[in-house]
Amino acid sequence: MARRSLSKDTTTVRQRLDGHAIVLVGLMGAGKTTVGRRLAEKLGLAFVDADHEIELAAGQTIPEIFARHGEAYFRDGERKVIARLLENGAQVLATGGGAYMNGDTREAIRRHGIAIWLRADFDLLMRRVRRRSNRPLLQNADPEAVMRQLIEERYPIYAEADLTVDSRDVAHTSIVNTIIRNLARWPGWDRLRNAQS
């Protein structure tokens, strides 16, 4: 029964998207890329990673952009790339952790898509980010303090997203299924249609 219900929810979400993007927001380590790939596959949509697109556009890695030009330069490029990507219609778009902090980007997402905050607690985020060394904001003597500060600064803004789904230490499929069920029951579809008319 649950499988049939999920299948129906998947169909409902596909039909209602009508050219709009599903945009995943949240801190580094929340699972936006991994969950996003699986969500796109389940919905039959393209998956786009904004960080990867920024690197392609710049011809440099994100750590290189930060090192050579600074964070402000990176954020400006990020805003422009996401605005361009949102013009591409229905897709699953994973954004970098700081992207949703920009008011213009939040407004663009509101017009062209549905923002989903993948919310994760501090311990889970730290376990995940320690596996990789390519996080410019954590390249310092006290990455835990930086992460706590990011949570304090960013979580109130992430909370403005259309939906919040908790990222947990469970199979990614479980998170994907939760997102689809929540989207199928999301009361904001009319708002989304009206935003583009």
Closest CA to 114 of 83, 90, 130: 90
Q: Please name each of the domains of the chain with its CATH number.
A: 8-189 (3.40.50.300)
pLDDT in tens, 169-188: 888 899 999 999 999 999 99
pLDDT in tens, 103-146: 999 999 999 999 999 999 998 888 887 766 555 555 666 778 88
Cβ–Cβ < 8 Å for 89, 43:
no
Global pTM?
0.91
- Cβ neighbours, 10 Å, residue 76: 12
